[in-house]
Structure 1
């Protein structure tokens, strides 16, 4: 009789476990380099030698990591850089002088043409970078998460188009540019996981 009760108890426990939505946050990782417990979305930068919150990438031109506290300023820097390059492009174009023949025109404007090509390429690259970072900010994603999604532990169980941190374009951009406090990403991850549980009846 005691056996049947224990079997019945075990069966009911399994049934209850299957009914409880699996919304637990993935276990926090411990950094293999500095042995600190990393918060969600953090990553160790081997170039800088420390863990960075909401790691985006390491910028070799600035010799600094881009993360939670300076990503917005990096985007503003790209915007200012693009405006300066477009202004330089305008000044270069205004300095091009007419010539009586193609040979004379090339001889007079060869330095300006070389500058025009250099500034034009730099403007195009900066515009693409700015567009990419504005897009990532609008969906609340980082370059690291976007490029290495299959290797990020807390994104492995999400669908290809699913982002557990996405709160809509307006909220994402507001948080990105206007929020100056540290964000607990585990809480947002857990809330979105709970709302996306399939088969719930209300």
Structure 2
């Protein structure tokens, strides 16, 4: 129960509700709206915070796209349907979990000890891999989290009150300043993370492929600007957010190789 994942999720939840409680208890816009009987703003902010927490746990606990060994050791007919007959990619065997064939764009995660389809990265903040099944939800979570953080930043700034001396000012605004600092740091991190992921999604590339291109068998022979999975920004975004089934990347890779020839 007290493994790393539990501690990380408990820390995230605790920080979220401590900061939210601080914003509600101090003399911020939320507090002033409550005193004036205008509850729409506090309720909306509370809903956004709850939604961000629910998305966090959904992304953290869901299957990121683990490759099941029994599906890869099935009938030869199933293999033939997944892999094109003409010029098939070289079969890859995972040296860790001993899968007979590792699907294209999959990678073994040393932390999760499983192979993950369309592996992007292992996120220590959610203590889970980001892969084919939860990558879109990870980006949705980042969007909602960014909305909550920027809103919290505005609310925290509205509660900082002036004082006669620096000592009195720090004493009266101490908790609010601490919350402001945490929210500011998290906002910068989420903005950078969201920007990087949206860019990679728009070119149909994963973090792992972007960082380790020279070591990946199906990419190291491609040009520096060549991506066999790129179908254009609009198609990449539509496929990423709308297609919820398992994609056979071997077929897309073959079509790209034939068209380039």
TM-score (norm. length: structure 1) = 0.82
Post-superposition CA distance 1:71-109 (Å, at most 9, x none): 001111111111111121111111111223444433422
Shift of 1:26: 2.8
Matches of 2:177 and 2:127, distance apart in 1: 31
Matches of 2:242 and 2:219, distance apart in 1: 26
Gaps of 5+ in 2: 1-85
Instruction: Tell me which residue corresponds to 2:133.
Output: 69
Runs of 4+ in 1 over 4 A off after TM superposition: none
SS in 1 for 2:108: strand
Instruction: Tell me which residue corresponds to 1:31.
Output: 94
Instruction: Tell me which residue corresponds to 1:97.
Output: 161
Shift of 1:110: 2.8
Larger Rg over CA atoms: 1
Does residue 179 in structure 1 map to residue 243 in structure 2? yes
RMSD between superposed Cα atoms in Å:
1.5
Task: Give the total of aligned pairs.
Answer: 175
Given that 1:28 and 1:40 are in contact with CA atoms closer than 8 Å, whether structure 2 keeps it comes out as no
Instruction: Tell me which residue corresponds to 2:148.
Output: 84
Shift of 1:25: 4.2
Q: Decide which structure has greater helix share.
A: 2
Gaps of 5+ in 1: 1-22, 198-202
Matches of 2:224 and 2:248, distance apart in 1: 23
Matches of 1:103 and 1:60, distance apart in 2: 38
Matches of 1:83 and 1:30, distance apart in 2: 42
Counterparts of 1:74-153 in structure 2, within 5 Å, are: 74-153=138-217
SS in 2 for 1:153: coil
Post-superposition CA distance 1:116-172 (Å, at most 9, x none): 111101101011101111111100000100011111110011011111000000000
Matches of 1:188 and 1:164, distance apart in 2: 8
SS in 1 for 2:218: helix
Shift of 1:50: 1.2
